[in-house]
Amino acid sequence: MLANPEAIKELRVSIPGNTIEEVIEEGKQLIPDEGEEATTKLGHIATILMTLLFVIRASTVGGMVFDNDIWLDASGHLCMIIRFVKCWATGQQKSTGKRLPIKRVGRDSIPPGGSAEHPRSRAFAIIMEAKRRTAICWLPGNVLDRPYQAAKAMSEMMEGY
């Protein structure tokens, strides 16, 4: 139960667990299709999966500058460079002093699943295919205003799921 029952009104999009599996399955089915529509959808799905795996906001994904801001390391862990965090107005977190950009590597990366069919491994495959197609940085706007437009764009896109 939520400490504040009204807090649920603040959620933009709620994704049930079975929907996550469905999104991963849809992404897996899109991989063989090199068409423009499939590539766009693959980028959308990759973005959803990145927000879930890294537990980040849409605005953080909107702060990505390059498709190469996400990669697999030599151990198969998913790594990411975070260039924007909402409310870090100066690019620095006041309480910890952490500064942007932050590299989510090593212990801060996401380990792969135990097999190729594990949901996390399948999600990695979708993200890497979207990266290969340069479909990850799809959010509208230029680099400076994209993080601020990302939440709305992601919410509208996710309504289809």
Question: Is 1 within a domain?
Answer: no
**SS3 state of residue 40:** helix
Mean pLDDT of 11-33: 82
Give residue 64's domain range.
16-158
Q: Which of 22-31, 44-53, 89-98, 102-111 has the lowest mean pLDDT?
A: 89-98
As a whole number, the mean pLDDT across the chain is: 85
Phi and psi at residue 142, in whole multiples of 5°?
-90, 175
Minimum mean pLDDT range among 14-23, 101-110, 113-122, 125-134: 14-23
DSSP sequence for 69-106: GEEE-TTS-EEEEE---TT-TTSB-TTT--BSSEEE-G
Domain contains 115: yes
In a domain, 10, yes or no: no
Q: Per the structure, how many domains does the chain have?
A: 1
Q: Classify residue 7: in a domain, yes or no.
A: no
59 falls within a domain: yes
* More confident: 5 or 80: 80
Q: Does residue 72 lie in a domain region?
A: yes
- Other C-beta atoms lying within 10 Å of the C-beta of residue 56: 18
Rounded average pLDDT over 1-25: 63
pTM: 0.82
Q: Quick check: is 9 in a domain?
A: no
Q: Taking the CA atoms of the chain, what radius of gyration do you get in angstroms?
A: 16
Strand order in the sheet with 70-72: 70-72, 78-82, 102-104
Q: Is 151 contained in some domain?
A: yes
User: Tokens in use for 21?
Assistant: 């599996």
